Structure 1
Amino acid sequence: MEQRIGPSIPPLQGAAADPAFVPGITGPRPAEPDAAKPREPEDAVSEETASDDPATKEEQEPSAEDAPDEGPEAVEETDEAEAAAPAPDGGPVFEASDRRAKVVADHSGVRLRLDDQEAEFRWDEIGAVETESPRFGKRFTLTVHTPDRRWYPLEIEAKSRSDFKEWEADLDKVLDTYFEEAEEAEESAP
């Protein structure tokens, strides 16, 4: 007779064989067989028969009136063209970017982009714009604050520390021009 010395450990079920195993959660159901799928009514016209009938051909072909003139790509192109358009009065524009992040402040507002994420703020949606340049290092931080106490920071890596002064001056010009105009418009509105 064999005897084991040491603890008796039962074999692991589930997690040892399947890394997606979570106790208490059932797995997906297997695909339904063809017999369980709903059938089409017998009086339905098959595609082959429908293609021979001239009345159904007209129904299948989309008319020029039904076709949309512009797809989503055309709408995106016009939005990008509006965003890239210079200020109507030739006003100042602030733009700074690095390999991952980009910030643009112009007549329409402030746009922040980090990798594939983007946030756009109109001037009437902005409560404050804050900048911070570190004592050491080359990361310039621009934070957009909204009136509902939310803030959206973005760090941009500068090529040199001398870029900070240039960026601050350019951003100040934009804020002086457009941010104050938005505040004046809000105050004059009833």
Structure 2
Amino acid sequence: MESQKVPPVTGAGFDPAYVPGLTSPGAEAVAEDVKDTVTEPDETTEEVTREEPQDAKPEPEPAPAADVDGPAMEAKDRRGSITVDATGVRFTLDDQEADFTWDEISAVEYGTSRKRLTVTVHTPNSRWYPNDVEAPDKARLAEWTDQLDKALDAYFED
């Protein structure tokens, strides 16, 4: 009887970092990439980077979100926040931030559970991005949902 060579089983059940279709590069490819990116600086590059165009004007800084007229909602807890204003929807969680302008959003939905507010932003490419914050009490949660309704009515086009 001939022994069959069985390929190893792969998948998320065996490797949580497994993503179908993605393979890690071999050690040789990584060494080549590192070798290609490490280059000696030449004098012409340094001179170009030090020179600044004389007629260049500094770009104006965008106005902070607090200066925007109209209804706005900001919900914060100890780890993150959800902000909805005239510029769009902004999520933060720990040191990560995601900004969505109203042009990038195809739908916004929200839900509440006990003292938690969950807001989900849907984009035109069929992706969704949820974020949630915990309110200190149910009265604050009701206040957040009321402000969110007003902000979505004002800025989001059906």
What TM-score results when the alignment is normalised by the length of structure 1?
A: 0.51
* Contact 2:116–2:141, Cα closer than 8 Å, also in 1: no
Alpha-carbon deviation of 1:96? 0.8
Which structure has the highest strand share of the two? 2
Q: Does 1:147 align with 2:124?
A: yes
Alpha-carbon deviation of 1:83? 3.7
What amino acid maps onto 2:73 in structure 1?
F
Match of 1:78 in 2: 61
* Contact 2:65–2:87, Cα closer than 8 Å, also in 1: no
CA RMSD of aligned residues (A): 3.1
**CA distance in structure 1 between the aligned counterparts of 2:110 and 2:66, rounded to whole angstroms:** 25
| Structure 2, unaligned runs of 5 or more | 1-26, 32-46
Alpha-carbon deviation of 1:86? 2.3
Q: Does 1:159 align with 2:140?
A: no
Q: Measured at CA, do residues 69 and 149 of structure 1 come closer, stay the same or move farther in structure 2, by a change above 3 Å?
A: same
Match of 2:70 in 1: 91
What amino acid maps onto 1:153 in structure 2?
P
Q: Does 1:179 align with 2:156?
A: yes
1:3-54 deviation digits (Å, cap 9, x = unpaired):
xxxxxxxxxxxxxxxxxxxxxx79xx9xxxxxxxxxxxxxxxxxxxxxxxxx
Q: Measured at CA, do residues 65 and 99 of structure 1 come closer, stay the same or move farther in structure 2, by a change above 3 Å?
A: same
| Structure 1, unaligned runs of 5 or more | 1-24, 30-58, 184-190
Q: Does 1:123 align with 2:102?
A: yes
Match of 2:40 in 1: none
**CA distance in structure 2 between the aligned counterparts of 1:169 and 1:103, rounded to whole angstroms:** 14
Kindly, what percent of the aligned residue pairs are identical? 46
Q: Measured at CA, do residues 147 and 160 of structure 1 come closer, stay the same or move farther in structure 2, by a change above 3 Å?
A: same
Structure having greater relative contact order (Cα 8 Å, sep ≥ 6):
2
Alpha-carbon deviation of 1:117? 1.1
Asked which structure has the greater CA Rg, the reply is 1
Alpha-carbon deviation of 1:152? 0.7
What TM-score results when the alignment is normalised by the length of structure 2?
A: 0.60
What amino acid maps onto 1:125 in structure 2?
E
**CA distance in structure 1 between the aligned counterparts of 2:53 and 2:103, rounded to whole angstroms:** 40
Q: Does 1:108 align with 2:119?
A: no
What amino acid maps onto 2:147 in structure 1?
D
The alignment covers a number of residue pairs equal to: 116
Q: Match of 1:167, SS?
A: helix
What amino acid maps onto 1:78 in structure 2?
E
Match of 2:14 in 1: none
